[in-house]
Amino acid sequence: MMSVARFINIGAGAIMAIGAYTTYLLTSISQLGFLATAGLVFLTSSVIGLVFYLGVNKMGLFDQPEHTIEDLSVILSYGFYLFITGGLSLLFGARYTSVNVKLELPLSLSFIKETELIILIFALLVASVMHLVFISNNNLGLKSKAVIQNIQASIAIGINTKRIFAIVFMLSFGVLGLSGCLYVLLYPINPYFGLYYTVLGFVAAGVSGVGNLLYSFVIASVISILYSFLGLVIPLGVAIAISYVLMLLILVAKPEGLKRGLR
């Protein structure tokens, strides 16, 4: 998503961790149900996204040429990752923590677990919002598509690109925070659990072509399924290493990604 703003985010794992630990805190100190907790996590992560955007914008990042934004964003997001994961380690320790979440689904289905159903509902919800914002032809969708393609041309048309960037940062952080919140339904957490998903996102964006949202989504889904199957026969670390090698081979053959992205 953040590639709309030419921001290559390798700090995604840290935002997931923020979402997961916010869930942990909320469920520890309050009796909130899961839906309210998820809403608050989304809101908190979005606000952090907005603050982060305002900070990097104040530094003049988005006044730079597009390739400079891409280069600097890698350093900035990595710094953010180190800062957040380090901070969370200091606060909560590096050990794995289980989070007890109160689920309150009004219906139960025999063929799917409650947690899986919730994750599926949220995934569909996020996909719908993404479609509305980045793919459909409403006012915001069209502007986002224009900005993804050419920032300078979009400015010349009269699109307020910085408002689009702010929305993108808020949504990206919100969705990543939410995914951290959903993660706690399945696994215990530690501050570094998001690294694997950062790698997954990085490979998906690299292979599909930066700025190609739909293709990135498809590639990420394919890679996730492959990981799941590979995980049965080889260690996860080896599977990640294989995906890196595959990404490098694809990028050597097609530097712009499988489908033409921004470049």
Gap between the Cα atoms of 107 and 57, Å rounded: 45
Q: Tell me the β-bridge partners of 189.
A: 97
Quote the least distance from Cβ 201 to another protein, whole Å.
22
Token pair in block for residue 144: 């986002």
Q: Cβ(209)–Cβ(169) under 8 Å? A: no
Residues 158-187 within binding reach of another protein (CB under 8 A):
158-160
* 149 forms part of the interface with another protein (CB under 8 A): yes
Indicate which single residue of 31, 60, 95, 156 sits in contact with another protein (rule: CB under 8 A): 156
Judge contact between 249 and 241, C-beta under 8 A.
Answer: no
Q: Decide: 6 and 73 in contact? Cβ < 8 Å.
A: yes
Distance between CA atoms of residues 7 and 72, nearest Å:
8
139, 233, 237, 253: residue in contact with another protein (rule CB under 8 A): 139
CA–CA separation, 236 vs 69, rounded Å?
32
Provide the minimum distance between the beta carbon of 153 and another protein in the complex, in angstroms, as a whole number.
5
Which one, 108 or 149, has the nearer CB to another protein?
Answer: 149
Q: Quote the least distance from Cβ 234 to another protein, whole Å.
A: 38
Number of chain residues interacting with another protein (CB under 8 A): 17
**Minimum CB distance to another protein, residue 73 (Å):** 22
Could you list the residues that contact another protein (CB under 8 A)? 137, 139, 142-143, 145-146, 149-150, 152-160
